[in-house]
Structure 1
């Protein structure tokens, strides 16, 4: 069986050790001969990379390992690029969250003005990665899960329409893990789902078991009472802010009980609630910097100091195994059904054909074949048209360097109450993002 060469772009990410552990846990299904890491922050990547080198030497010494800040070194001889970059890192995320909150607007890294700000930083970084891949490993595929995935996906559609890049997101996977737990199933793979929407903005319209039995009634009964809160949950989404998000799904569900919602819809349907329950001084970015970031770097320091990964508390990101499923589907033509962010192109028949929608696809070695969703209800269609306009205007603003279009994008967002508030937030964001955004005129 062929062994593959993997590049993790965003090597200095706190998620990188969990992804490497997950890859090691799946070597029988997806054999690997080489893992590389790439990041433009040499110091941060070295802390993760030195620990991962020890970890790999102990657990899979046959796998070649290296990390680099040089594109040619990193991207040469690669089959898959797994990309999860954060341009500006957590200090910029903190500003994405706190600047809108200062104006009484939702402060969230992928939704509303924070998502637009993050998108404006991410576009150039992701396009650079695609350019490096196409130059040094033109037959490779990029599995991109860099946020904000909706804006990044629209940018790749516009700027790299023929590139071998698949835009993916783990949030529906995390929710499906919870659904399986609620139903008492062994795995989310025991469910056959139909889902549609935009990234962080979607709905499950049907969930069945493999025998074709309808699982929606049991799930709806639970969600109506408890949201997506259940006993076990998953190892990643455990902080107080996440617990509130899973509980709030109960209220989001009540707005349309014919479907089951993605949790992120709370930011659009209940922005007043979100702002009221936000701490303007201590946001999710602060939780992550004080929590996961300190934990992961602390564990990596411990591994390097002790020269062994024995007794490390670093753990596999279980629901990240969908990345291996996706790589396997391409490598071995498995034709697995997976959620991807793809050009609509008629899959949702009554929606913009150029919109980047999140829908089930059959994945093989030629890439994704989107499944037909059919027509969607007016409520979802209206919300999606508004939100996809935000995403398209943001990308147009980046391409054209247009202040006007970015102001329009923020004004269009359901989280922003007026054009004047949108302008005030935009002016603050421009100041904060000097050196990261194109100059807007």
Structure 2
């Protein structure tokens, strides 16, 4: 078996122990011999803390996997087989600004939706495109597995603005939804597959299968009969949908749809958090401080249970499973962000969609779903247009286009407010937005 070199950019992330655990658990079938954890100078301390924990975890597991810590991205990328990205440009301080500035103007502030998602894309996309340039030179046959949010927009930016095709966007939401459905049916998650339609963080489950047989009516009946049943997330409180709405929709919205179907309720909650100094980024900052104190403990040699309180918990299962399936040509079904190419017939061919794919040694093969049902088509088309304008603005630094994009998003009350929020966020993040300097 070919031994693998994997590079994780954003290696100082609090999520890294989960990724390391995933590689440890799969080492028999996925022989990772080198794991390079890469970060920037401002993340040096966290990289060293989490990197030393990773080394203790590998030693405890007794496997042959070398952990390398580096601030030199290009040196790390040379001859890599897989590259994973889990970075946060501007760190948590930037996230808090993304949340607090829109809320201060009566607009929802959220990490991956609306104004917050737009500015995370603005900071992230140019960096990802630079990483891809390095990969084209140093490891052109490697797969880029991107978990950095907004995952769909980041993936689409690579597909639209580079010639690099070996990119896959990844999110833990479909993974969590699949496990929730398995729990509802009291069956093993491996027995469940889903049909997805939409884009990252704005996707609907339009069918659920148990051992190849549809059980969607059973899933919907469960949701309709129990109005408290919901697919909750760690990073926000998801409200329950009404039975009438679910019966009419005939699909299960992902938890992030709460921001669009319960906008006023979520805004009211955001405003209370804003006043209390407990927007999600501020909560995460405290949680991360606690995690890194745990990570410093030289007696800690496994992933701590407390990591599950982070919003992206369990993503390593998705990331490691994806890498494992490509490496071993497993031909199983997983849920990823890839180029549409007609799989969803009424979305642009070159756009990224979140969809069920057969994972092969040659990468994901999308399972065609055809046209979007009119019940979900309108909201998905609106978000896709917002995404495409945001991506273009991220690359070109066009402020007018950024304002137009935010104005089109349902979370934005008016174009006037869009202009105010965009300009304030541009100023707040100016050090990380060189494309807008003109």
* Corresponding residue of 2:412: 416
**In structure 1, distance between residues paired with 2:359 and 2:303:** 38
* Corresponding residue of 2:38: 38
Q: Single out whichever of 266-275 and 112-121 deviates more from structure 2.
A: 266-275
CA distance 1:256–1:99, change in 2 (3 Å)? farther
TM-score by length of 1: 0.91
**In structure 1, distance between residues paired with 2:24 and 2:183:** 25
* Corresponding residue of 1:297: 292
- The 8 Å contact of residues 155 and 167 in structure 2, kept in 1 or not, is answered as no
Deviation at 1:113, TM superposition (A): 0.5
- The 8 Å contact of residues 53 and 65 in structure 1, kept in 2 or not, is answered as yes
**In structure 2, distance between residues paired with 1:252 and 1:358:** 26
Asked if 1:359 corresponds to 2:355, the answer is yes
TM-score by length of 2: 0.91
Asked if 1:276 corresponds to 2:229, the answer is no
The 5 Å alignment of 1:118-267 reads 118-187=120-189, 189-212=190-213, 214-224=214-224, 225-226=226-227, 228-229=229-230, 237-238=233-234, 242=236, 244-245=237-238, 247-249=239-241, 254=246, 256-267=248-259
**In structure 2, distance between residues paired with 1:253 and 1:42:** 49
Deviation at 1:301, TM superposition (A): 0.9
Asked if 1:320 corresponds to 2:316, the answer is yes
- The 8 Å contact of residues 178 and 228 in structure 1, kept in 2 or not, is answered as no
CA distance 1:311–1:340, change in 2 (3 Å)? closer
Provide Cα deviations, 1:136-167, integer angstroms capped at 9, x if missing partner.
22221111111011221221112123342111
**In structure 1, distance between residues paired with 2:175 and 2:398:** 36
* Corresponding residue of 1:85: 87
Question: Which runs of no fewer than 5 residues in structure 1 stay unpaired?
Answer: none
**In structure 2, distance between residues paired with 1:228 and 1:3:** 44
Provide Cα deviations, 1:177-214, integer angstroms capped at 9, x if missing partner.
12211221122x211211110110011111111051x3
Task: Tell me the C-alpha RMSD between the 2 structures.
Answer: 2.2
Deviation at 1:411, TM superposition (A): 0.3
**In structure 1, distance between residues paired with 2:74 and 2:286:** 35
**In structure 2, distance between residues paired with 1:312 and 1:355:** 38
Question: Which runs of no fewer than 5 residues in structure 2 stay unpaired?
Answer: none
**In structure 2, distance between residues paired with 1:272 and 1:335:** 43
* Corresponding residue of 2:436: 439
The secondary structure found in structure 2 opposite 1:341 is strand
**In structure 1, distance between residues paired with 2:396 and 2:197:** 30
**In structure 2, distance between residues paired with 1:311 and 1:355:** 36
The secondary structure found in structure 2 opposite 1:422 is helix
**In structure 1, distance between residues paired with 2:154 and 2:255:** 20
Q: How many residues align?
A: 426
The secondary structure found in structure 1 opposite 2:431 is coil
Q: Single out whichever of 54-63 and 333-342 deviates more from structure 2.
A: 54-63
Task: Give every structure 1 segment of 4 or more consecutive aligned residues whose post-TM-superposition deviation is greater than 6 Å.
Answer: none
The secondary structure found in structure 2 opposite 1:146 is coil
